Structure 1
């Protein structure tokens, strides 16, 4: 099938947490024989901060942040068998959604792919005329990168014909164990952009634990934290490109995942960082969220903390030997059950079945 995917960015992870998900999943889908074009706007300085060049498994179209350019790429939706509009593209999202649906062929499968379902659903609840709610009658599928039954039930309740999670996963060709890098030396590392829905949790799980364990060293990576007050044992390294994620995960004794508040509340939403860290064989600590045990086994493959005090206790007791055991167990688990190839098999089946149904419907 020919698939058009309108998203934030495939080429840049700069202020774009979905990059790893897009790359791993779409690369694996391309391996199933699909021809994919990814449309991304030139906004937020992402093109100035590319961390990959256009890949050979996907055609990438970068369009200007102008109305005329938007109209042009919307019109091209008519050339495809599957048309996907992702959430959080970052430039005139509502117009983009309406535009691609207006130009999609009658026999094409139309998909809203939500890479931040908790935030999208909160927006929809607050705005009865929200563009996504208005488009549900025209959309064949809502796919999400997490959320489980709470998200499925919420989308169906507002009119989605079908909602199916396609969870984050590991791309073993890009995230794997590497040698430690002195730039990222620390006892505990955290990598994540500064976002309003995450900041208080970073203060609790990361900065508070740093205060409580002053003899340990902490490393913070991600955009937006430069003016954040921090304890003296915290070092800030700024934006870390995806090419350095393996070293960032492999070097500290442990790394921590801190979900945004909305994702932690809804559960069943492992971010890409969980699988990146596990794929690198890192010892991962995560904040608690419902459903974590579906992906990694607590105490054996991941350490779970309910607050900063828990993180501090873990760091006081964690030995390098214990950290190594957890990292190796996590790596084995994700390689066996949570790769993007397995997620692509699910997505391929879903899209192929939907396409066959649309073609039959159009032929009637």
Structure 2
């Protein structure tokens, strides 16, 4: 069988960003791979909640195909899976265990799992409640890619037998996310889907400051917030915003709030896609604190950290516009240099090449342009 140079992803969704951050992560990464000359196919299950909120049905940087169930996935795509240079299954794929079994049985190239929810996954692997991955499947993948870095990678290898665990943080397309020349009419904004474990922090770090500053304007954008939440009158609520509008929204904010889910915060080393997007858009960030955040952005210089309402109100009152601008400029420079979509694609190239048994500095054969050398960082 002749090996193709195609990289195939099977993920939660790339065509709809409604209620999930996976779409933004995949779009940035696959755009970077496209710019590096790769041929990419993304497969996702056709779900009604995504079908009614499909904000990117056609993507210029990859092929995307929908399937109804695992039986259709098998019947339509087994030959391409067998021929692909690499097949990467993502977390939270519906009926993911059966999808993993299919990939592990038929793929002949690099077989990888990309976990965008690693701390959640590890907790569920321990009690066998993870619906998209079984603990017994972990050692069978050539490569475990993780949204979370740090000690979590050692746990994957030590406790679950992963052959090779590597960090693959989310990234940002710096061409799509740039500073906008718009009026900053929102004092503090937040962009994120509702989650039970994030809501207390949103209450303390945005809603309560809004109550204490009734003459200033705040905004929260995201889906699935329960109707019983009592929002302050000066907090604007928007249910969903397509990624193409994110830069404009960030541009309107004097500061933006970054919040991390409890499992991610506990594990540390889990920078969100919103963190990188906001930085690339030139908006100063106020963030909750977790281990490893200082390795991504330098506190006080590139990001402001808050653990209380008082921290937030102090920043809003005391940080001048010029100081805020300097923080935003420093953060944008750092993110553009280290966390762009192309940078992340280059990391993935190195990981896939190493998983195939080649030195990480050698040319990638069968993964894009055979004449292009992949430089190590």
TM-score, length-normalised on structure 2?
0.87
The answer (yes or no) to whether the contact 2:15–2:58 under 8 Å persists in 1 is: yes
CA distance in structure 2 between the aligned counterparts of 1:40 and 1:237, rounded to whole angstroms: 26
Q: Counterpart of 2:366?
A: none
Counterpart in the other structure of 2:102: 99
* Cα deviation, residue 247, structure 1: 1.0
Structure 1 residue aligned with 2:180:
178
How many Å apart are 1:153 and its aligned residue? 1.6
> CA distance change for structure 1 residues 155 and 224 in 2, over 3 Å: closer, same or farther?
same
What's 2:56 paired with?
52
How far the C-alpha of 1:222 sits from its partner, in A, is: 0.5
Match of 2:375 in 1: none
Contact 1:226 1:238 in 2 (8 A): no
Shift of 1:67: 4.4
Give SS of 1:180's match: coil
2-side partners of 1:259 and 1:128: how far apart?
23
| Structure 1 position 35, deviation (Å) | 1.6
Which residue does the alignment assign to 1:212? Answer: 212
The match for 2:334 is 333
| 8 Å CA contact retained: 2:139, 2:160 | no
Moved more, 320-329 or 253-262: 320-329
Cα pair 1:213 1:316 within 8 Å, conserved: no
Q: Are the equivalent residues in 2 in contact too, given 1:87–1:115 (CA < 8 A)?
A: yes
TM-superposed CA distance for 1:244, in Å, is 0.8
* CA shift for structure 1 position 143: 0.3
Structure 1 residue 198 displacement after superposition: 1.8
What is the alpha-carbon distance in structure 1 between the residues aligned to residue 172 and residue 110 of structure 2? 27
Partners of 2:123 and 2:56 lie apart in 1 by 33
Tell me how far apart the structure 1 counterparts of residues 212 and 168 of structure 2 sit (CA, whole Å): 38
Partner of 2:154: 153
Match of 1:62 in 2: 66
Instruction: Map 1:223-302; keep pairs closer than 5 Å.
Output: 223-225=223-225, 227=227, 228-302=229-303
* Structure-2 separation of matches of 1:27 and 1:347: 13
Aligned position for 2:44:
40
Greater CA drift, 26-35 or 190-199: 26-35
1:112 CA displacement: 0.7
Question: Which deviates further from its counterpart, 277-286 or 334-343?
Answer: 334-343
8 Å Cα contact 1:287-1:307 kept in structure 2: no
Corresponding residue of 1:168: 170
1:144 aligns with 2:170: no
Structure 2 distance, partners of 1:343, 1:337, is 8
Deviation string for 1:12-34 (max 9, x for gaps)? 11122011211111221233332
Maintained 8 Å contact 2:191/2:221: yes
Matches within 5 A, 1:18-29: 18-29=22-33
DSSP 3-state at the match of 1:253: strand
Unaligned runs of 5+ in 1: 358-364
Q: CA deviation at 1:92?
A: 1.3
What is the aligned-residue RMSD (CA, Å)? Answer: 2.1
Aligned to 1:9: 13
1:226–1:236 contact (8 Å) kept in structure 2: no
Q: Post-superposition shift, 1:209?
A: 2.5
Aligned 8 A contact 2:36 2:342 in 1: no
Residues 307 and 129 of structure 1: is their aligned pair in 2 closer, same or farther, counting only changes over 3 Å?
closer
Partner Cα separation in structure 1 for residue 290 and residue 213 of structure 2: 24
The number of residues matched between the two structures is: 351
Query: Against the structure 1 CA distance between its residues 239 and 300, is the aligned structure 2 distance closer, same or farther, given a 3 Å change threshold?
Result: same
Separation in 2, partners of 1:321, 1:72: 59
Decide whether the 8 Å contact of 2:124 with 2:130 is kept in 1: no
- Cα separation, partners in 2 of 1:318 and 1:226, compared to 1, 3 Å: farther
Following TM superposition, by how much is the alpha carbon of 1:223 offset from its aligned partner in structure 2, in angstroms? 0.5
Inter-partner Cα distance in structure 1 for 2:248 and 2:321: 17
The reply to whether residue 72 of structure 1 matches residue 89 of structure 2 is: no
Aligned equivalents of 1:133, 1:231: Cα separation in 2: 44
The TM-score, its normalising length taken from structure 1, stands at 0.90
Contact 2:70–2:98, Cα closer than 8 Å, also in 1: no
Q: What corresponds to 1:189 in structure 2? A: 189
- 1:129 and 1:250 mapped to 2: Cα distance? 38
